[in-house]
Structure 1
Amino acid sequence: MKTLKTLLVDDEYSAIEGLAIRLAAFPQIQVVGHATHVDAALRLINQTAPDLIFLDIEMPGKSGFELIKQLQPETCPAIIFVTAFHQYAVQAFEVRALDYLLKPVKTQRLAEAIARVSSASETQIATKQQLLEVRDILLNGQLNQGKDSPPIYRIEQEKLVIQDGHHPAQLVPYADILWIDAAGDYMCVHTSADTFVMRARLKSLIKETLPTDFIRIHKSTIVNLAHVTRLEPLPNSEYNAILINNKSLKVSRTYSRPLKCRLLQKTKD
């Protein structure tokens, strides 16, 4: 079994300690150092020539991408991103970064990532250019294209990223989502075929994540306007919204007027 000289880079020392403890269970991993900022990491890289770096993305001062920029392409080690940000993780995976781990790091996912590194050939390890393409996606949504080129497909514009902390992220097209309802700190995301559970709050989903076709119809429910076929009136100025699969969702009086206006506008468009 090949020994992998490994460097841990994270601005939170507690995260480094936790990862080091988990890595101790893997005999092929030899931790040769750790760093809490990019400049220290670069010094250690020059001293130890690691085969693998567990690299945090968001760090004060210089990010993990600033570290990658300064690596020599011909000696760029394998990189496993370690991040608390789901959008970074998914985008990193999409441009063929070797792997990523979401904080808090789960032992099973760590084992999968190490197995992938151990079995990968040199030609399968992401190059410096591919790793920097992640940065380009985050900055402007393009993969080193000319300034006149159209933007590439961006995951967060077309799909909802669902991560439960135990499994790889799932990508659910917004167009497939019929409605979303709340269950405490969790959301149930319903399509015609499946229901997905994600940890999020309704308010933040509406404000920060979902496209404008998603509208609140109840204190605990969001509906995709594209899948509403009709409204059935109820007493007290309330309605039932009937979806394309004949699912009936209650529309509270507070949200009935905005929903009717949006549906009317959609009909005119």
Structure 2
Amino acid sequence: MTIVKTLIVDDEPAAIEGLRLRLDAFPHIQVIGEANSVAEAITLIHIQRPDLIFLDIEMPEQSGFELIRQLQPEHCPAIVFVTAFHQHAVKAFEVRALDYLLKPVKLERLAEAIARVSELTSNSADKAQLLSAVAEITKEQQAGNAGSSKERSAEDNAEAAEPQYCIERQKLVIQDGRNPIQLIPYQDIIWIDAAGDYMCVHTQAETYVMRARLKSLIDERLPDVFVRIHKSTVVNLTYIEKLQPLCNSEYNAVLLNQKVLKVSRTYAKALKQRLLG
């Protein structure tokens, strides 16, 4: 198996250590260095020539985008973004960045990202697209900063404000390429349950269907107010009216709309802790 020389770039030592420990599960991933800043990373890249970089986006002096902007496509390692936020990574991911991981990094998602490495690391066209996208993002950020120091038109102000609002933090985005994109406010979602390869997203007014894995929804998209109560069900805590005990340490969760959902023994303890504090 080909060894993948890997660099970790993050300003948080704990985040680096956590990722390094998870990478121990992948023998072909060889961590050759760690950097706490863009300047350190550039030096290591020139010396070590890594094949892969796990790159934090939010860093104090220069962002991860600034690092990528200084690279050339022919010398650009594969990039896996590591971020606590969706809004930056999604833009580059849409133009074929290798992958992005949300903090805290889950081992299963890490394995998926690493599986993509051998498929895409040598594709210079994809890297060129990534660099181009990062350049555009950087220009948007600079334009937003410049706008704070001088008077701008209403249209420019709206454009500058746009990066500060992240749809995926406020609403669940449902799209399948055929139907109109649905944007469902998280506070309107009562519960979500699995139906084969699809998820049924229930609100007071309607049920929406989306193709997704329940685990990926929980790990990467749903706010903390959503809690798993069954292997196939998550519920919005704010809609639970009461818990009715059953046998075998199981419960029925009665919702405000009087819908009753089964709480399996596996998830009952964690649910009670969240409700009772």
- Over 3 Å counting, the alpha-carbon distance change for 1:15 and 1:189 in structure 2 is farther
- Over 3 Å counting, the alpha-carbon distance change for 1:176 and 1:80 in structure 2 is closer
* One-letter amino acid of the counterpart of residue 115, structure 1: A
* One-letter amino acid of the counterpart of residue 21, structure 2: I
* In 2, Cα distance between equivalents of 1:179 and 1:38: 35
Cα contact 2:91–2:133 (8 A) shared by 1: no
- In the alignment, does 2:163 pair up with 1:161? no
SS at match of 2:26: coil
Which of 203, 208, 211 lines up with 1:193 in the alignment?
208
Cα contact 1:161–1:172 (8 A) shared by 2: no
- Over 3 Å counting, the alpha-carbon distance change for 1:178 and 1:98 in structure 2 is closer
Q: Could you tell me how far 1:28 is from its partner in structure 2?
A: 1.0
* In 2, Cα distance between equivalents of 1:13 and 1:62: 17
Larger CA Rg, structure 1 vs 2:
1
Q: Which runs of 4+ in 1 moved over 6 A?
A: 154-157
Cα contact 1:85–1:102 (8 A) shared by 2: yes
- Over 3 Å counting, the alpha-carbon distance change for 1:21 and 1:175 in structure 2 is closer
Partner of 2:114: 114
Cα contact 2:77–2:121 (8 A) shared by 1: no
State the Cα deviation string for residues 170-198 of structure 1 (Å, max 9, x = none).
Answer: 63367553884377xxxx87353249872
SS at match of 1:108: helix
* In 1, Cα distance between equivalents of 2:53 and 2:72: 14
Q: Could you tell me how far 1:138 is from its partner in structure 2?
A: 6.6
* In 2, Cα distance between equivalents of 1:18 and 1:179: 30
Partner of 2:80: 80
- Over 3 Å counting, the alpha-carbon distance change for 1:53 and 1:119 in structure 2 is same
Partner of 2:174: 172
Cα contact 1:65–1:132 (8 A) shared by 2: no
Cα contact 1:160–1:172 (8 A) shared by 2: no
State the Cα deviation string for residues 112-170 of structure 1 (Å, max 9, x = none).
Answer: 000100233622773144234145247539xxxxxxxxx9xx9998x94269xxxxx96
Cα contact 1:53–1:80 (8 A) shared by 2: yes
Partner of 2:274: none
Please report the RMSD computed on the Cα atoms of aligned residues, expressed in angstroms.
3.8
Q: Could you tell me how far 1:111 is from its partner in structure 2?
A: 0.4
State the Cα deviation string for residues 27-48 of structure 1 (Å, max 9, x = none).
Answer: 1101000000011111111110
TM-score, with normalisation over the residues of structure 2? 0.56
Q: Write out aligned runs for 1:215-234 (5 A).
A: none
Partner of 2:193: none
Structure 1: runs of 5+ lacking an equivalent: 142-150, 164-168, 202-219, 222-248, 250-269
Cα contact 1:9–1:41 (8 A) shared by 2: yes
* One-letter amino acid of the counterpart of residue 42, structure 1: I
Q: Could you tell me how far 1:73 is from its partner in structure 2?
A: 2.3
SS at match of 1:122: coil
Cα contact 2:10–2:36 (8 A) shared by 1: yes
* In 2, Cα distance between equivalents of 1:27 and 1:75: 24
SS at match of 2:82: strand
SS at match of 1:177: strand
